[in-house]
Amino acid sequence: MSVLVFADAAHGKIVKATHEAICYGKAIADKMGSSVTVLTYGNVDQSALEGLGAFGASKVLVHRGIEHVDDEVMTKLLAETAGSENAKVIVFAFDTSGKSIAPRLSARLKAGLVAGATTIPEIDGAKFTIKKNVFSGKAIAKFEVETEQKIISLLPNSIPVTNDGGSASVEELNTPVDQGRISVQEFKAEGGDGIPLPEAELVVSAGRGLKGPENWGIVEDLANELGAATACSRPVADIGWRPHHEHVGQTGVAIRPNLYIAAGISGAIQHLAGVNGSKTIVVINTDPEAPFFKAADYGIVGDAFEVLPRLTEAVKKFKSAN
């Protein structure tokens, strides 16, 4: 018996959300007295695959013949592998590939899916009880799944990553696979060399209070000093001051970093829906009545044009002293 974890390998890289999913799979495997098998694809380095053992994988299966993940092809391969590995639990990261493959696999296997889980399951015989955020982070629901096979996709940044330095055995899969029916014509990278927003542990965000795109230098300075990603509010993306992929909120990206610093954002409920999972929120606003202060851990009533550079200096001083 095993817990099967799907590791997306877009552009030859396995990202932190997947490391978390493997750790999560390992926690379930420990409870069930089984082990973790990872399924991945493409041309990830052999050493990186062995290194997945550090997160809890015993075995890594890699299909080198698949260059690009296609949800139909991958669903079929995962269903077959779940059978051959006798996997009763299949784990995904709740990222773009997890969102498109996990439900497809759920419908194929008639296996109950908890999409966006935040807790390690309570296991009572064949019954798993798992929590996930609902109502855009305004509440938590407890799901029960009793189907024979179970699928869980893990919300990024929900559990800590543990790394014990172990190593996994790697096997190549040569199962013949079909050509997918969707063909990829082009990939347009966004975000340049910066830290991708959904992955970032620290985020500095700003809104209309910054008055114009030319003033983003002070936001970027603080982000660079902290090693943070930059984000923005919806109006700022809509008027084109900042690129759309930086927009966090209800209709943009939902993020849950360890630290979210918001400058010149009033904190409309739609914005909060995208950031309310952040562990610590710092709000900087000239208006002491800004609703965002109610959701903040630390608040500064002040002008972002003065406060941000001061904060950047303070971070610099802190770094040189530590």
Partner 1 sequence: MKILVCISKAPDTTTKISFTDNDTKFNEDKVQFIVNPYDEWYALVRGIELKEATGGTVTTITVGGADHDPIIRKALAIGADGAVRVNAANSDAFFVADQIANYAKANGFDLVLTGKETINYNGSQVGAMVAELMNLPYVSIASKLDIDGSNAKIERDVQGGVEVVTGSLPMVISCAKGMAEQRIPNMRGIMAARTKPLEVVEPSESANLTKVVGYELPAEKGAVKMIDPENMGELVSLLHNEAKVI
**Sites for partner 1 among residues 225-284 (CB under 8 A):** 226, 244-245, 247, 250-252, 258-259, 269-270, 273, 276, 279-280, 282-283
- CA dist 124 and 268 (Å) reads 41
- Of 110, 298, 305, 130, the C-alpha closest to 214 is 305
State which residue, 59 or 104, has the beta carbon closest to partner 1: 104
Contacts of 25 (CB under 8 A, 6+ apart): 3, 4, 5, 36, 56, 57, 89, 91
Quote the least distance from Cβ 23 to partner 1, whole Å. 19
Quote the least distance from Cβ 116 to partner 1, whole Å. 6
Cα separation of the two ends of the chain: 47
Window 75 to 114, contacts with partner 1 (CB under 8 A) = 75, 95-97, 99-108, 110-114
Window 187 to 206, contacts with partner 1 (CB under 8 A) = 187-191, 196, 198, 201-202
Applying CB under 8 A, among 33, 176, 179, 182 the residue interacting with partner 1 is 182
Count of residues engaged in binding partner 1, rule: CB under 8 A: 98
Choose the binding region for partner 1 from 21-29, 46-54, 84-92, 294-302 (rule: CB under 8 A): 294-302
Look up residue 5 and give its amino acid: V
Quote the least distance from Cβ 188 to partner 1, whole Å. 5
- CA dist 65 and 68 (Å) reads 9
- CA dist 188 and 100 (Å) reads 19
Residues 113-132 as x/- pattern, contact with partner 1 by CB under 8 A: xxxx------------x--x
- Of 254, 246, 204, the C-alpha closest to 227 is 204
| Burial readout 87-119 (b: 16 or more C-beta within 10 A, e: otherwise) | bbbbbbbbbebbbbbbbbbbeebebbbbbbbbb
Choose the binding region for partner 1 from 58-66, 163-171, 181-189, 208-216 (rule: CB under 8 A): 181-189
* Beta bridge partners of residue 232, listed in sequence order: 206, 247
Applying CB under 8 A, among 140, 171, 239, 287 the residue interacting with partner 1 is 140
State which residue, 100 or 167, has the beta carbon closest to partner 1: 100
Residues 157-176 as x/- pattern, contact with partner 1 by CB under 8 A: --------------------
10 binds partner 1 (CB under 8 A): yes
- Report the DSSP pairing between strands 202-206 and 229-232: parallel
State which residue, 45 or 122, has the beta carbon closest to partner 1: 122
- Of 315, 268, 271, the C-alpha closest to 291 is 268
306 binds partner 1 (CB under 8 A): yes
313 binds partner 1 (CB under 8 A): yes
State which residue, 10 or 32, has the beta carbon closest to partner 1: 10
Tokens of 150: 């179970």
Calculate the alpha carbon distances from 255 to 36, 192, 232, 242 in Å: 28, 19, 12, 17
Quote the least distance from Cβ 58 to partner 1, whole Å. 26
State which residue, 64 or 279, has the beta carbon closest to partner 1: 279
